[in-house]
Structure 1
Amino acid sequence: MDHHCADIRRITAFHQVRRTCVWSLIAVISLGVFADRVSAQPPQAEIDAAIKRGVAFLKKKENYGRSGMNAFVAYTLLKTGESPDSPYLQNCLKNIMADHSQKNDKGETVYQPGGDYNYTAGVQLMVFEAISPEKYHDEIRTTVNFLISTQQPGGSWYYPQNEANNGDTSITQYAILGLWAAERAGVLVPTRVWDNAARWHLNTQLQNGAFGYHPGAQSESGPKHTMAVAGTGSMYVIARQLYPDGQPRTAPVSGDGKPTKKKFGFLEKVNLTEKEKTEEEKNLITKPTIALSAIQGSKTRGANWVVNNYNYRNPTGWPNYYLYGIERLAALADAKKLGPHDWYADGARHLLMMQLEDGSWKGSGNIDAATCLAIIFLAKATGKTINRHYEPEPVGSGLLAGGRGLPKNLSEVQMRNGKVENKKLSGDLSELLAQLEDPANADLDSTQETLVETITLGNREDLIKQKDRVLKLIDARSPDVRRTAVWALARTNDFRMAPYLIRALKDPDLGVRIEARNGLCTLSRKIRGLGMPEDPLADVPADLTKEERVILADQWADEATRRWQKWYNSVKPFDEKFNLYEVLNQLPKSKSK
C-alpha cells in the first residue's frame, strides 16, 4: 500500500468508532439508540441531476473569453463526461489557444495567458492533459516553461504585478495542479521546481499544521479552511513527484504516483523505446534537497488540522473551493473518510441543498466559479484523474456463500461482470409504487433507486397524480419505504404535503426524520431548515447515555415540529386557514365555575 496515503488512513482508523443505534420516541415505542449517519449520501440520481442542472447553467453563457474561467468551465465539462468534440468545448479550446498564438520580437510563438494569470496557466494544463497530451504537447511544454519562469525565488507563485511578497497559497496550488497535469501528460518538470515549492510550504505552514492565504502579509488573518486543504493537498502532490514509492525519483512520475518512462521530454519529443536516461533527464531530474521525512511530517500536520477542524457548512473562505480541496485531498490520500467524516456524503448533501433553482451555486463570490467547484466535487474530478473509486457497496453485495446477497426471486436476476445483479426495473411510476406497496418485495434497493431516478428526471405531473398512493406509504412498516415516501412527497411541490412531512419529523427512524427535514427544506426553499440540524449526529457528544440521546432526539423533534408548523400556518392554502375544528382548538379554554 502506497505509504503516501498512510497519514489520513491512520487518522481515520484512530477516529472511527462504530455507533449502532436507532432514534425512538419515549412512551410510543421501545427505547432504541442512534443510528450512525443513516442514509447519509444522496441517491446517485439526485447527484447526477444536480450536475446536469449545473452544467446547463454554465452553458447559458456562450463565451467566457480569455480568462481563467474559460479553462475552468472546460475542465468542469470534461470531468462530467462532455466530449471534447462538442461545439461548446471546441469554442472553449479556441479561446484557450488564443493564449498560445502570441509572437515575440523574434517571431517565435510564446505563451501569454489572459486574465487570472497563473490560475489560467494551471487550469489550461489540466484541460490539455484531460483531452490529449499528444495533440497539445507543444502547448503543454510552453505553458510549463511559463510557470517555471514565474515561480518566485522562495518557491511560490503570485500575480506578476505583485512580486514583492511571500507568495499566495491559492495561486501556488493551481500552479502545482497544472505542473502535476503536465507530468501526467509526459512533460518533465525539473526536480528543483518541486523542491522549491516544498520548501516554501514548509516555511509558511503554521505551527498547528494549517496554512494561511498570504503568509507574512499584514492582511493575513491566520489559518483558513480553504488554504489548509490547498496547502496540504499541494504537499501530497509534491511528495508524489519528489518521492514516488518513497524513494527520490530517478525518472518521470506517472499519474498513479510511480516512476515511469516519459512519453515526451521537457524540451523535445524523445524516442519512446529509448532505455537509457536522456541527457535532458540527467539535467532536470536531480536529487531532492528537501527530506522525505520533512514532507511527510508536513502532510501529517496538515491532514490532522483538516480532520480536526472539518467544517463543510461554514468554512473560512469559499465553501465550494473548500469542498473541491477536500475531494482532492481525499483522493490523493486514498481516503474514503477523513477521520470520522464521510466527506463525500456530507458535501453532496450540502451542495444539493444549496443549489439554486437555475442550477447554479452562489458560493462566496463568482457564481460561475462556485458552480464549477460544486460540480467537480460532485463528479469526484480528482478521483477520476487518478482512478480512485469510493462508491459504497450495498450490504451483502458479493456475499454469495449460503445464499447471502441473492434476491429471493432468482428468475429476476442476471449476470454482469461475474456478479449476480437484479434486472433493471422499468421507469413506470405506478409499477414502482406497486413494488413499494408489496411488503414481500425482495428488491427494495433497486426499486428505490429506480423510483428516485424516475421522479428526479421524469415528469413531475406523473408524481402528483400518484400522490394519494405515496401518502399511504408514509405509514408503511418498513422505515426504508417510509423514507422513500417522504422523499417523494417533497418533490410534488405541493404545500399541502407539508403536514405529513412535519408529522414525519417524529418518526421512530432517524433516516425518516432526516428525510422529512430535508424534504421540508426543499418544499419551503429554506435551505438551512428550522429547528433540527442537517446532520443531527455531527455534534452529539460520544459519551451521552442511551436515555440522554433519546431525550436530545425528542427535543430536536419537538422544536423542529413547532417551528415548521408555525411556518406552514403562515403559507398554507386559503381553504385550510379557516378550518373550524382547528380554530376552536386554538381558542383559550374557559375555566370551570
Structure 2
Amino acid sequence: METGTVCRRRCRCNGSRNTDLCLRPSHAMISAGTAVAHSQPGRQRRGPGRSRFRPGRHAAVAALAACLCLSARGALGVSQDSPEVLAMVDKALTFLEQGNASGPYVDDLGAKCLVGLAFLKRGISESHPKVQEALDACRQDVASEEIKPYLYGKCLAIIFLTELDSTAHRELIEVYAAQVKQHQKPHGGFGYISATTGDTSQTQYAALAFWSMHVAGISVDADSVQRCVNWIMRTRDPTGVWGYQGEDPGSFNLVAQQDQPGRSMAAAGMSTAMILGNMLGLLKPPAGEEAAPQEADGENVPAALRRVDTGKRKLRAPPLPPGNVDPKRLDDAIRAGRGWFDKNFGYEVPQYQSYYVYSVERYMSFQEYLDGDAPEEPQWYNAGYEFLKKTQSADGSWNDHCGTPSATAFSVLFLLRSTQKSIAAALGEGTLVGGRGLPRDLSKVRVRGGKLVYNQPPTEVDALLEMLEEDQAEAFDDLLDNPAALDIADIEAADAQRLQQVVRSGPAGARLLAVRALAKLRSVEQAPTLIYALTDPDRRVVREARDGLRSISRNFEGFGPPDNFDDAQRQQAVERWKAWYRSIRPDAAPLP
C-alpha cells in the first residue's frame, strides 16, 4: 500500500530536496486507511552512556510512565531512550544473561557477537561476561570460521571488535576481513563459498563490516567496494526490489529478480547501496549537516571541552576512490529502492523476522543520516516498537528461525537504534580533558562565539552543577540559547537535591537551567519542585517548569499557564498541577 502524504516542509524524500510528495515511512504512514501527518523533526538524543545494567530500576520507571500516560499514549511516540523501550531491552538482556538459549545457531560466533554487541550498545561495561564471551569466541574461532560456507560470523566478529576497541583488536579484525574477501565473487557480490551467485543477504553484512573498518581507520580495498556497488546495482529488480540470490545480467540492463524478492531483501539491498556509496564519497548528508570534528579543538574552545586522544577510536578515514561507479546510476538505484520499500513497508515477513527488523533499522538510519533528517520519534521506529512489544515472550526473549540468542539480540539492537549510534560515533568522538565523553552525535556540535555548543551527555550533570555553582556566565549563554544542549537521562539523588536547591535559591539563569535539567529526567519525583517553579518571578522559568510538568504527566496540552499569563492564570495553573500531583501521590506530603 502506498504510504504517501503531502509534506508540510521541504524534505529530501525520493532523492529530491524540492519534492512535494513524501513517501518515507519515517514521515508518514497509512494505518487502517487513514493518513497520519508526518512527524516533526526533532533533535537526536544520545543513547544511554556506559552505566551499570540495572533492569529493576528501568522496569520501575517504565511502569510509572505507563501509569502516567495511559490516556495520552495513542498520540505520543517513543524513542530509544523512552522508559518503556528500555524496560523491554533490559528484560531481554536479563534473558541473555541467564543463558537459556534455544534454536539454531546458538553456538555460532555470529550469535555470540550479536549478544555482546547488544550489551555494548546498551552501555554495559566491556567486562560483562557476555561481552567477554564474544571476545573469547572471536579469538578462538578463527580456524573454524575460515571453513564455514557463509560469512555472517566473520562479518559480525569485525563489527563487534571495531565497536569494542578497533585499535587493540586490529590484527584480529584484519584476519577476519581477509576471510570475508574469500566470499567475494568475480562479479563483485558476496555469497556462499561454493556458489557462483552473489547473495544479497550476505553482501549487506560484508558491506557493514567494511564500513565498520573504514570508519575505524582500518584499510579497506577500494576495488572490492567498487565491484560490490556495481553488483548491487546490476542485481536490482526493475521495480526497485532485490532478490536473495541475485541474478546478474552482466550489464545494467536490469532483469527480474525471481529468488524471494521482498521486504527483507529490499532492506538488505538498500543498506548495501547506501553504506558502500557513502564509503566511496558518492552519498553524503546535505551540505552543513556533517560537523567537522577538527572544529572541536583550538584555543577558542574552553579547556574542559578540548578533545584528547584516547587511542581507542580513530577519526574516520577519507572516502575511497569511486572508480567506475556511476553516481547517477547509484542515485537512480536508491530512488527506485526507496519507492518500492515505502510502498510495501511493513514488519511481518515469512521467516527470519528479527533479522529483518534489524535490517529496517540499519536502512532507515542510513537514510536519515544521508537525508540530514532524523526525527526523534520516527513512525517507522514506533511501528517496530509496537510489533516487538507484541512478540516479546514473557521471559524477555524473541524467537524465530535465527534462534533465541540472535533473535533477541537483533531485536535489542533495533530498539536501541544500534546503527544510528554507530553512524553518530563514526563522525568522530573523543574524551574531554576532565574524563567525560564528547557527544557521539557531532552533527549537533558547533563552535559558536569561541564556545562549543553541544548536547550534554547523561553523565555530565557534574559539569552542569559546576556551571551553576561557579556562575560560569559564558557557559550559561550557550546552554540558555540552546534548549537541546542538555540531555540528562539519570542522576544521583544527591545531585537532584542540589538542582532542587538551585531552583529555590539560585540566580535567574541558574534557576532556568536547573528546572530544565530536572524536567528532562521525566520523573514524577521532580514534580513538586517544578510546581514550585511555576511561582518563579522569571517568566522563562515558569514556562520551562510548565513544559517539564507536561512532559512528566504526558499531557502535552497541559494545565498551563499560557505563555503570556497573568497572575490569576498562574495561580489557577499551580492549583491544577497540585491536584494532578495529589491524584497520583495521594500519600505524599501536602505541597506548600
Structure 2 counterpart of 1:320: 354
Distance 1:19 1:415, change over 3 A: farther
Distance 1:418 1:19, change over 3 A: same
Contact 2:113 2:134 in 1 (8 A): yes
Residue 373 of structure 1 deviates from its aligned partner by: 1.2
* Paired residues for 1:159-558 under 5 Å: 159-160=192-193, 162-164=194-196, 166-216=197-247, 220-243=258-281, 288-312=323-347, 314-315=348-349, 317-333=351-367, 334=369, 336=373, 342-363=379-400, 365-387=402-424, 411=504, 415=510, 421-423=516-518, 443=545, 446=548
Contact 2:78 2:382 in 1 (8 A): yes
Whole-angstrom CA distance in 2 between matches of 1:214 and 1:257:
38
Distance 1:417 1:384, change over 3 A: farther
Pick one of 160, 166, 188 that aligns with 1:155.
188
Structure 1 counterpart of 2:156: 123
Aligned partner letter, 1:226: S
- SS of the residue 2:245 aligns to: coil
- SS of the residue 1:423 aligns to: helix
Contact 2:530 2:548 in 1 (8 A): no
Distance 1:306 1:20, change over 3 A: closer
Cα displacement string for residues 102-152 of structure 1 (whole angstroms, at most 9, x for unaligned residues): 4xxxxxxxx844767400111110111111111111111121111122211
Distance 1:181 1:427, change over 3 A: closer
Q: Does 1:83 align with 2:125?
A: yes
Q: Does 1:51 align with 2:93?
A: no
Residue 227 of structure 1 deviates from its aligned partner by: 0.9
- SS of the residue 1:421 aligns to: helix
Whole-angstrom CA distance in 1 between matches of 2:129 and 2:271:
34
Whole-angstrom CA distance in 2 between matches of 1:7 and 1:135:
41
Residue 259 of structure 1 deviates from its aligned partner by: 13
Aligned partner letter, 2:337: G
Residue 423 of structure 1 deviates from its aligned partner by: 2.7
Distance 1:58 1:434, change over 3 A: same
Taking only aligned residues, the RMSD between alpha carbons, in angstroms, comes to 5.2
Whole-angstrom CA distance in 2 between matches of 1:192 and 1:149:
14
Aligned partner letter, 2:407: A
Structure 1 counterpart of 2:177: 144
Distance 1:356 1:417, change over 3 A: farther
Whole-angstrom CA distance in 2 between matches of 1:221 and 1:341:
31
Aligned partner letter, 1:14: L
Cα displacement string for residues 251-302 of structure 1 (whole angstroms, at most 9, x for unaligned residues): xxxxx89999xxxxxxxxxxx9xxxxxxxx9xx9665112111112111111
Whole-angstrom CA distance in 2 between matches of 1:285 and 1:20:
39
Contact 2:480 2:513 in 1 (8 A): no
Cα displacement string for residues 428-456 of structure 1 (whole angstroms, at most 9, x for unaligned residues): 979969999xx99985765576689xxxx
Cα displacement string for residues 161-220 of structure 1 (whole angstroms, at most 9, x for unaligned residues): x323x2211111111111111112222111110111112111210111111112349994
Whole-angstrom CA distance in 1 between matches of 2:229 and 2:173:
23
Residue 376 of structure 1 deviates from its aligned partner by: 0.5
Whole-angstrom CA distance in 1 between matches of 2:187 and 2:337:
20
- SS of the residue 2:205 aligns to: helix
Contact 1:414 1:421 in 2 (8 A): no
Distance 1:120 1:311, change over 3 A: same
Contact 2:15 2:331 in 1 (8 A): no
Aligned partner letter, 2:114: F
User: How many residues of Structure 1 are paired with residues of Structure 2 in the alignment?
Assistant: 395
- SS of the residue 1:353 aligns to: helix
Whole-angstrom CA distance in 2 between matches of 1:200 and 1:49:
41
TM-score normalised according to structure 2 size = 0.55
Structure 1 counterpart of 2:566: none
Whole-angstrom CA distance in 1 between matches of 2:512 and 2:406:
39
- SS of the residue 1:85 aligns to: coil
Segments of 5+ residues of structure 2 without an aligned counterpart are: 1-11, 29-34, 39-71, 249-255, 295-310, 312-317, 425-439, 445-454, 456-477, 484-501, 536-541, 555-574, 586-592
Structure 2 counterpart of 1:563: none
Whole-angstrom CA distance in 2 between matches of 1:399 and 1:45:
25
- SS of the residue 1:154 aligns to: coil
Residue 88 of structure 1 deviates from its aligned partner by: 2.8
- SS of the residue 1:157 aligns to: coil
Residue 65 of structure 1 deviates from its aligned partner by: 3.8
Distance 1:12 1:232, change over 3 A: farther
Distance 1:417 1:126, change over 3 A: farther
- SS of the residue 2:381 aligns to: helix
Segments of 5+ residues of structure 1 without an aligned counterpart are: 22-34, 103-110, 248-255, 261-271, 273-280, 404-408, 453-475, 489-593
Residue 347 of structure 1 deviates from its aligned partner by: 1.6
Flag the structure with larger Rg.
Answer: 1
Residue 417 of structure 1 deviates from its aligned partner by: 11
Distance 1:88 1:211, change over 3 A: same
Residue 41 of structure 1 deviates from its aligned partner by: 2.2
Whole-angstrom CA distance in 2 between matches of 1:213 and 1:246:
27
Whole-angstrom CA distance in 2 between matches of 1:196 and 1:425:
48
Contact 1:320 1:363 in 2 (8 A): yes
Greater shift, 46-55 or 79-88, is seen at 79-88
Pick one of 42, 64, 67 that aligns with 2:109.
67
State the identity as a percent.
Answer: 21
TM-score normalised according to structure 1 size = 0.55
Distance 1:144 1:358, change over 3 A: same
Contact 1:47 1:378 in 2 (8 A): yes
Whole-angstrom CA distance in 2 between matches of 1:379 and 1:194:
28
Contact 2:95 2:395 in 1 (8 A): yes
Residue 400 of structure 1 deviates from its aligned partner by: 7.7
